[in-house]
Amino acid sequence: MEPNIPYDESALLVQLQAGSEAAFTLLYQAYAERLYYNILALVKDGLTAEELVQDVFSSIWQKRETIRIDTSFGGYLFAASRNRVYDFFRKLDRDHALYAAIKAAASYEYSYIEEALLDRENADILQKAIKSLPQQRRRAFELCKIEGCSYKEASEIMGISLSTLKDHMANAREAIRSYVSKHYEITTISVALFYLWNRQ
């Protein structure tokens, strides 16, 4: 990924580390389009590719003072974009698992609930509630309720005691219930939550 640019790239990188917005803009203009097509070939969605390109360059700007580029800037961008794509697909897998868990939980006893009521909006509500949790509680919840780990397995993965894991889960449940009740009307997500809480 080495486009022809009428500037000394090494000098631009030095200026970037010094906080030069002009240097950053030149590097962006030189690489953004090619980076976009590289990412697009992997994610197959234009909007997602654009967002990931912006994420990569935003991260570079935020870390400009400490950034270390041992090879070329193009090589650095390729590696950074590859990591962003991996993160994107991991998140996509978690989202799909969460949606499937909600549907399965709600239909376990309430098979008569209309399919339309259990739409993506309800999954989004729960996702937002989970994302609002502190990191440790969120990790505990994801391991136990989305990835299907037992409490014992989750505590071992997180390197915490079983009792601490149970505390995280109890607090996570209460926080999610509170989030949903404060931000949304009671919908069939309440049914899904009830069964999701009680699955082990």
Range of the structural domain that residue 22 is part of: 9-88
Residue 180 in domain: yes
Given this model, what pLDDT does residue 101 score?
A: 62
pLDDT: which is higher, 13 or 72: 13
Instruction: Indicate whether 38 and 74 sit together in one domain.
Output: yes
Please determine, for residue 80, whether its predicted confidence score (pLDDT) is greater than 50.
Answer: yes
Looking at every residue in the chain, the average pLDDT score rounds to 75
Cβ-based neighbours of 4, under 8 Å, separated by 6 or more: none
Please determine, for residue 152, whether its predicted confidence score (pLDDT) is greater than 80.
Answer: yes
Q: What is the CATH number of the domain that holds 157?
A: 1.10.10.10
Residue 131 in domain: yes
Instruction: Indicate whether 116 and 187 sit together in one domain.
Output: yes
Instruction: Indicate whether 24 and 69 sit together in one domain.
Output: yes
Please determine, for residue 188, whether its predicted confidence score (pLDDT) is greater than 80.
Answer: no
> What confidence tier does 54 reach under pLDDT thresholds 50, 70, 90?
very high
Q: What is the mean pLDDT of residues 114-137?
A: 67
Q: Say what the alpha-carbon torsion angle 81, 85, 58, 141 is, to the nearest 10 degrees.
A: -140
Q: What is the mean pLDDT of residues 43-68?
A: 87
Domain's final residue, options 88, 123, 157: 88
Q: What is the CATH number of the domain that holds 48?
A: 1.10.1740.10
Residue 4 in domain: no
> What confidence tier does 53 reach under pLDDT thresholds 50, 70, 90?
very high
Residue 98 in domain: no
Instruction: Indicate whether 74 and 134 sit together in one domain.
Output: no
Residue 94 in domain: no
Looking at 88-92, 122-126, 170-174, which range is the least confident one?
122-126
Instruction: Indicate whether 123 and 46 sit together in one domain.
Output: no
Residue 81 in domain: yes
**How many C-beta neighbours within 10 Å does residue 50 have?**
14
pTM reported for the whole predicted model: 0.48
Instruction: Indicate whether 15 and 79 sit together in one domain.
Output: yes
Percent of the chain with pLDDT over 70: 69
Given this model, what pLDDT does residue 181 score?
A: 67
Please determine, for residue 44, whether its predicted confidence score (pLDDT) is greater than 60.
Answer: yes
Looking at 19-33, 117-131, 136-150, which range is the least confident one?
117-131
Instruction: Indicate whether 83 and 122 sit together in one domain.
Output: no
Instruction: Indicate whether 190 and 114 sit together in one domain.
Output: yes
Please determine, for residue 39, whether its predicted confidence score (pLDDT) is greater than 80.
Answer: yes
Instruction: Indicate whether 81 and 147 sit together in one domain.
Output: no
Q: What is the mean pLDDT of residues 94-104?
A: 62
Domain's final residue, options 56, 88, 120: 88
Residue 190 in domain: yes
Residue 95 in domain: no
Three-state SS for 82-125 is HHHHHHHHHHHHHHHHHHHHHHHHHHHHCCCCCHHHCCHHHHHH
Q: How many domains does the chain have?
A: 2
Distance separating alpha carbons of residues 46 and 58, to the nearest angstrom: 18
Instruction: Indicate whether 135 and 83 sit together in one domain.
Output: no
> What confidence tier does 121 reach under pLDDT thresholds 50, 70, 90?
low
